[in-house]
Amino acid sequence: MLRVLGIAPYEGLRELMETVAELREDIRLTAYAGNFHEGLAIAQSIDPSEYDVVVSRGGTTDLLREKLSAPVFSVELSYFDILNAIKLAQGYGGRFAIAGFPRTVTAAAMLCDILQYNDIPILVNNGEEDMESTLATLRQLDISMVVGDFMITDYARAHGLHAILITSDSKDVANAFDEAVRYFSYFQDMRRDVDYYHEALVLVRRRIVVLDRGGRVLFSDAPASARNACTTAAKRLLPAVIRSGRQNVLRRYGGHSFSVSADVSRRDREECYVFDITELDQGAPARISGIRLKNSDEISGDFVRMFYGGAAQADIVRRLENCRRARAVIIAGEPGTGKDSLAEYIYATGEYAQSVLCTVDCESLTADMFRNLLDSGDSPLYDRGYVFFFRRAELLDPAQRRQLIQLYREGALPVRNQMIFSVQESRHGTEREAACVEELFSEIPSVMLRVQPLRRRIHEIPSLVTLYLNEEGIKGLRRAAGIEPEGMSYLQSFLWPGNIRQLCRVLDVLLQVTNTAYIRADAVQMALRDEAWQPRTEDAPDPGMDLDRPLNQIIADVVRAKLSQEGMTQARAADELGICRTTLWKYLKTETKKSR
């Protein structure tokens, strides 16, 4: 069996490698996500005797071939991969350019020449040293989106541009594996004893990691499946060991929970640091006094950047900047608006990111758990180095809320800890929700972050859909170049009571049932009918509707509401409104054009 080390420039390709490998019996894959120098560092940290070949993609492949002695095979991009990304970008509505390593750009230029896409700028990016100049060129051209390799798209996202990654599909990965197997077929029966040894290591829960003062790994007996998590656990604790000597702690890293004992040893004349790491059973330390623990490296900000990172959400972006520095934050919004993701993003990107995030889920918090949280000597509430996220704080009873506020006002909680509260608001609000927000905001100096429901962001839906389809394409399993115009109008006509989470669910369903390049309008209509099955509780327009607007906008909102109530059936909605179907379509189409 051929042992393959996969170094994927992005996480989606790593998962795709694993998916393709699971269907084969001739390879055993160990895959990591790491782009360019990060990918090289991962490959160099692994004992070369543990693999026979390396499989990677793009510029990372070229770098690995230069630095490693093992054979390196490439997941090559096809013209279809490039065309799919271009088609997806064309649905964005703004100007875009193609940028990347020479081999990617050369193929894209040939494709654009054949298809006569002469208005698409194409830029060559040779590596990290070219990033700033490439970005400057894009800004000079007034381009807000870039299509290309992972390096340039990742850099563009980090600097405020939207980006679509040219993704590989399963055939590309399978071709790379086939080439490696053909070239190394005579290795299939070798090193069987080593394979058994690695299998045995996976079953052992106790690991030893030795680091030098700079964090370099001097020794590790952790198997590949646990090496990254164990090394992270050791490196996170290293500053405390250097400062204070022996440490015994409970920590959670990369989805794994550990008991870590650390001490100082000597190697020749230099100090080294030995970490005895025991991986605990799933869930054992994950809850302490009703609290779930996370570290910042376990949190992805993709959801927030995708749905709240655009120019249309400039107010949210500004408030997020304030939230990162604030000691207390209140996030209020309807179900499905992503309050949990916003809370985690504030923690992971803010001044408290080196702390541990403790999520207190008030929805499942019992009276005993709350009492333990406040009274137990083991409660982290009184320790330094934590960010506390009280999820759905409106579910705390008034007495519990007053106890928590009193602790804050008396200074019983460490000053260097941050507190984040989320309050779930129903569409028309309740006294309980309003009382919670008012009491927290008036008693605790806080930054307030109010999240708009999706029905107030109808004009953003085409861009949000494009970005979401791109992210799904990056994962490598499902791709679509866009949605038919009539289908997009259906999406903009829906009321979205479940907000962004509901939109994601609908798009997931559409990607599952779609086997064409574009998602068809009839599929959108059927999916929205399924979403509108709940009994109707009102036939009138939203009583909270803003009437201080032009009449055509108010009419369009009423039409959308009725269309949603009638299961997206235009004929039935038109009949209920007493207008013809053509008039209904005209209202929707006219308002959609004006909102863009």
Region 489-518 average pLDDT: 92
Last residue of a domain, one of 417, 452, 487: 452
Q: Do both 588 and 548 map to the same domain?
A: yes
Q: Do both 152 and 258 map to the same domain?
A: no
In a domain, 286, yes or no: no
Last residue of a domain, one of 428, 452, 476: 452
Q: Do both 98 and 243 map to the same domain?
A: no
Count of the separate structural domains present in the chain = 5
Q: Do both 33 and 157 map to the same domain?
A: no
Q: Do both 211 and 316 map to the same domain?
A: no
Q: Do both 69 and 89 map to the same domain?
A: no
The pLDDT confidence band at residue 557, using thresholds 50, 70 and 90, is confident
589 or 478, greater pLDDT: 478
CA-nearest of 522, 528, 526, 520 to 481 is 520
CATH code of 301's domain: 3.40.50.300
131 or 382, greater pLDDT: 131
In a domain, 485, yes or no: yes
pLDDT in tens, 332-353: 999 999 999 999 999 999 888 8
The pLDDT confidence band at residue 539, using thresholds 50, 70 and 90, is very low
The pLDDT confidence band at residue 538, using thresholds 50, 70 and 90, is very low
In a domain, 462, yes or no: yes
Give the least confident one: 78-87, 88-97, 214-223. 214-223
Q: Is residue 487 within 8 Å of residue 568, measured between CB atoms?
A: no
Region 56-84 average pLDDT: 94
DSSP state of 423: E
In a domain, 285, yes or no: no
Region 145-170 average pLDDT: 93
Share of the chain above pLDDT 90, in %: 51
| All residues at 6 or more sequence positions from 210 whose CB lies less than 8 Å from its CB, including other chains | 217, 218, 219, 220, 265, 272, 273, 274, 275
CATH code of 91's domain: 3.40.50.10660
Look at residue 530 in the predicted model and tell me its pLDDT.
86
In a domain, 445, yes or no: yes
Look at residue 543 in the predicted model and tell me its pLDDT.
43
- Separation between Cα atoms, residue 96 and residue 93, nearest integer Å: 9
Give the least confident one: 12-16, 31-35, 238-242, 590-594. 590-594
Burial of 564-581, coded b for 16+ CB within 10 Å and e otherwise, reads: bbbbbebeebbeebeeee
257 pLDDT above the threshold of 70: no
CA-nearest of 522, 521, 444, 453 to 483 is 521
The pLDDT confidence band at residue 546, using thresholds 50, 70 and 90, is low
73 pLDDT above the threshold of 60: yes
Look at residue 256 in the predicted model and tell me its pLDDT.
62
Last residue of a domain, one of 452, 472, 490: 452
Q: Do both 399 and 486 map to the same domain?
A: no
Pick the most confident of 9-18, 413-422, 542-551: 9-18
Q: Do both 255 and 310 map to the same domain?
A: no
pLDDT in tens, 506-519: 999 999 999 899 99
In a domain, 523, yes or no: yes
Provide the residue type at 90 as one letter: Q
Look at residue 537 in the predicted model and tell me its pLDDT.
38
CATH code of 249's domain: 3.30.450.20
Region 147-161 average pLDDT: 93
Q: Do both 131 and 275 map to the same domain?
A: no
The pLDDT confidence band at residue 535, using thresholds 50, 70 and 90, is very low
543 or 333, greater pLDDT: 333
Q: Do both 129 and 60 map to the same domain?
A: no
Look at residue 283 in the predicted model and tell me its pLDDT.
43
Look at residue 552 in the predicted model and tell me its pLDDT.
72
pLDDT in tens, 379-398: 778 877 788 999 999 999 99
Region 529-555 average pLDDT: 59
Q: Do both 359 and 503 map to the same domain?
A: no
In a domain, 513, yes or no: yes
Rg (Cα) of the chain, in Å, rounded? 27
Q: For residue 499, what are the domain limits? A: 456-595
324 or 578, greater pLDDT: 324
453 pLDDT above the threshold of 60: yes
Region 28-55 average pLDDT: 94
- Separation between Cα atoms, residue 180 and residue 27, nearest integer Å: 10
For 515, phi and psi rounded to 5 degrees? -125, 15
Average per-residue pLDDT in the chain? Answer: 84
Look at residue 55 in the predicted model and tell me its pLDDT.
97
254 or 501, greater pLDDT: 501
342 or 355, greater pLDDT: 342
Give the least confident one: 28-42, 156-170, 451-465, 467-481. 467-481
In a domain, 170, yes or no: no
Look at residue 567 in the predicted model and tell me its pLDDT.
61
CA count, 13 A, side-chain hemisphere, 140: 8
Number of H helices, E strands in the chain: 23, 22
Q: Do both 513 and 471 map to the same domain?
A: yes
CATH code of 46's domain: 3.40.50.2300
DSSP state of 254: T
Q: Please give the model's pTM, rounded to 2 decimal places.
A: 0.62
The pLDDT confidence band at residue 414, using thresholds 50, 70 and 90, is confident
- Separation between Cα atoms, residue 341 and residue 299, nearest integer Å: 9
pLDDT in tens, 183-226: 887 655 555 555 655 565 556 556 889 999 899 998 887 777 77
